[in-house]
A and B are shown apart, each in its own frame.
Chain A
Amino acid sequence: MNLLKQTSLVFWKDLLLELRRRDSLLTMFFFGTLLLFVFHFSFDLPPDKVAEMAPALLWLAFLFTGTLGLTQLFQVERENHCLEALLLSPLDRGALFLAKSCFNLFLMLLVELVVMPLFWILFNLHGWNLLPQLFLVTLLGTVGFCVLGTIMSAVTLRARARELLLPLVLFPLMIPVILATIRCMENIMSAGDLGAAASWLRLLLGFDVIFVTVGILIFDRVIEG
């Protein structure tokens, strides 16, 4: 259980730092909300169309907000050369990976918890009872995003134009998650989450499992190179 202990240590460190300064969380939250407004003006949908577009719009908002979080993810370590210190310590790289992913996941989930109901209010949607199921699906999608995103965030750490490169590299890889999450959400909103969306859900789960594993195994190569 050493892996878990190390993971939680690093996670708590990030959490405490964040609680003190709250810059990542606040920027993400405001950016997500801002996107809702922008979408509302850009799309100008009639009320019946909104429910159709809702999953896609929501997920787009989360993608971009999450990317913000990702670019900040290793910022703390970079600023004070803490990264070298962390790497010199006997910290398991897999634990670092898990901790960073969980931290970004945590931030995103907080934002999503607020933004989703906000979306429902701003866009005058019905079906409030569906929100828990929708949130569950979003959770799975966010896990996939954070896992792959953390790897890519570390990979692009030393690159020039990093803020541009990260989405460029990450988004094509995210396509299964994007498709699966939005299809599941659409299914939930039109019917219950039955039958048709089940295979998408399995795909999503598979994606998460695969890349959590890959991430743990490969992260030491990512971060030291």
Chain B
Amino acid sequence: MEHWSFVALAYGIVWSVIVVYFFFLKRRYRKAQMELSALTSAQTLEEHEQT
């Protein structure tokens, strides 16, 4: 059972990177969502003012 540490290292790095990327994506997604809703509400506000 030699070299277990290497295996652990490899698996550890891979999964942590994937998880980190996942959260990174989620965060960007949430930010973009907020930005979009801010934009849409601002735009609908403008349209209301124009009419």
- A touching B, CB within 8 angstroms: no
Residues on A lying within 8 angstroms of B by beta carbon are: none
